[in-house]
Amino acid sequence: MPEIYISVDVETDGPIPGANSMLSLGAVAFAPSREQLGSFSINLVELSGAAPDPKTAEWWATQLEAWKAARTDPQPPLPAMRRFAQWVKAMCEIAGPGVKPVFVGYPAGFDFLFVYWYLIKLTGESPFSFSALDIKTYAAAVLGCEFREVNKQRLKRFREPNLPHTHVAIDDALEQGYLFLNLKAERDRLAEHT
């Protein structure tokens, strides 16, 4: 089945959806050929009844530029997630008939948790179904090392030097998308030699 990769990054005000809110969502769609198909970025209004986590609020106090970016023009969560789901479906249509999206995150266990919860809670469906790829897990498999051995130093050669990690959702989605694609290219290179 043909697929595209949707690199997603979220910024939140705490560790769990529902109790805490997703503040911003950035996504970049890539074809397996590395072609960038499109990007999506939106800031969200906090959930009614949710509250910021104190430890996360302390961290945000050290990231003032990223905080400002995450709080510019926030949109209500329901229309925001509808727009995101429609965008994912549109990216699949651009890529061709029968194409399915794969959510790519770092860590997917965090980003997918928020995105999936928001999609199901607010729209009743997820265009990803349960398809989420964790870049750190993927790197451990490609590099033949243990999961906990995957760190910044080990991944340095796979990062694009001109794409910094800014904690602005769309910037980080682009940065980690290319990290994944570079790891995928390494996997393909290694497969040719076996």
Active site residues: 167
| Whole-number Å distance between alpha carbons of 21 and 19 | 7
Amino acid, res. 108 = A
Q: How far apart are the C-alpha atoms of 116 and 91, rounded to whole Å?
A: 18
DSSP type of residue 157: G
Q: Three-class SS of residue 147?
A: helix
Nearest to 10 by CA among 134, 97, 113: 113
For residue 74, give both structure tokens: 């926030």
Q: Phi and psi of 131, rounded to 5°?
A: -85, 100
Phi, psi (5° rounding) for residue 92? -65, -40
State the CB neighbour count (10 A cutoff) for residue 31: 18
